[in-house]
């Protein structure tokens, strides 16, 4: 399938087949051009993962993450609170001068927030998810870049809320050991006794997560063009 056919499919998916078919030829071209530009911007963002590239505003960020995790419109207030909590924990650097103006987010910011929200769906506490991402950024950046070329393996995480118990180097069950952060680790955790049962493993399909983020970014970009007239508008 050619790039134009792929772009047309993306635009149709973003607007809905019926609405897309009713567009004027000029608007069809605009939608297809927007898809191509957005896909190109996403691809280029991996070349400068943490130094620039594609940026979106907060409203687009929220829209992408809500759609990614299947949050319905009535869940917007609760989702806003969850997203605000993650941002307040310092996961994403606020690049605004003196904190003024509209905040923007890079592709890697969206991917990290998407991963944190996915971990929370498995009952990983928000603070633990954020610490895990921040401590393991070097590894995760390689995962994201690998996924941009379709070369990526699932992320296997050890999850063990009891990991701190019995460790004399910790106080009241708090602290960290190596790259373990809270209840999550990329590597095998230590356990008292050779016959201890290993902790549960949480598997995250990072490539699927990543590609869905791309798709929702493209859909949001096409929808921002405002090509569909409000229902009942006959002018």
25 band by pLDDT with thresholds 50, 70 and 90 = very high
Alpha carbon of residue 171 to chain centroid: 34
231 band by pLDDT with thresholds 50, 70 and 90 = very low
> In this structure, what token pair is assigned to residue 196?
């201890």
- Lowest mean pLDDT: which of 5-9, 27-31, 36-40, 227-231? 227-231
Pick 1 or 53 by higher pLDDT. Answer: 53
Percent of the chain with pLDDT over 70: 83
Query: Which 3-state string (H, E, C) describes 139-195?
Result: HHHHHHHHHHCCCCCCEEEEECCCCCCCCCCCECCECCCCCCECCEECCCCCCCCCC
Rounded-to-integer distance, Cα 154 and Cα 45, Å = 22
* φ/ψ of residue 204, rounded to 5: -115, 125
pLDDT at 194: 74
For the segment 157-167, what is each residue's pLDDT rounded down to a tens digit?
988 877 666 55
pLDDT at 175: 47
Closest CA to 222 of 29, 16, 34, 18: 34
Strands 55-57 and 155-159: unpaired
72 band by pLDDT with thresholds 50, 70 and 90 = very high
- pTM value? 0.87
Strands 104-106 and 184-185: unpaired
Rounded-to-integer distance, Cα 175 and Cα 165, Å = 11
For the segment 208-223, what is each residue's pLDDT rounded down to a tens digit?
999 999 999 999 999 9
For the segment 75-133, what is each residue's pLDDT rounded down to a tens digit?
999 999 999 999 999 999 887 776 677 889 999 999 999 999 999 999 999 999 999 99
pLDDT at 190: 62
Inter-CA distances, 175 with 112, 167, 168, Å: 23, 10, 11
pLDDT at 98: 65
The conformation of residue 229, written as its DSSP 8-state character, comes to: P
Rounded-to-integer distance, Cα 155 and Cα 139, Å = 11
For the segment 165-199, what is each residue's pLDDT rounded down to a tens digit?
655 444 444 444 544 566 788 866 666 567 878 88
Rounded-to-integer distance, Cα 180 and Cα 159, Å = 10
Rounded-to-integer distance, Cα 87 and Cα 130, Å = 9
pLDDT at 186: 80
pLDDT at 94: 81
């Amino acid at each position: 399938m050619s790039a134009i056919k792929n772009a047309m499919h993306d635009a149709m998916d973003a607007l809905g087949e019926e609405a897309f078919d009713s567009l004027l030829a000029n608007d069809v071209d605009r939608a297809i051009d927007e898809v191509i530009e957005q896909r190109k911007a996403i691809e280029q963002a991996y070349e400068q993962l943490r130094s620039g590239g594609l940026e979106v505003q907060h409203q687009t960020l929220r829209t992408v993450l809500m759609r990614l995790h299947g949050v319905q419109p009535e869940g917007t207030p609760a989702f806003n609170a969850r997203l605000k909590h993650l941002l307040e924990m310092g996961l994403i650097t606020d690049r605004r001068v003196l904190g003024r103006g509209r905040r923007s987010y890079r592709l890697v910011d969206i991917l990290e927030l998407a991963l944190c929200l996915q971990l929370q769906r498995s009952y990983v506490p928000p603070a633990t998810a954020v610490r895990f991402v921040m401590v393991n950024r070097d590894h995760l950046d390689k995962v994201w870049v690998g996924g941009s070329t379709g070369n990526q393996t699932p992320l296997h995480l050890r999850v063990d809320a009891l990991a701190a118990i019995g460790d004399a180097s910790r106080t009241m069950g708090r602290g960290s050991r190596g790259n373990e952060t809270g209840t999550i680790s990329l590597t095998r955790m230590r356990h008292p006794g050779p016959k201890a049962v290993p902790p549960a493993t949480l598997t995250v399909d990072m490539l699927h997560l990543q590609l869905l983020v791309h798709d929702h970014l493209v859909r949001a970009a096409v929808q921002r063009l405002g090509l569909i007239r409000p229902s009942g508008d006959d002018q």
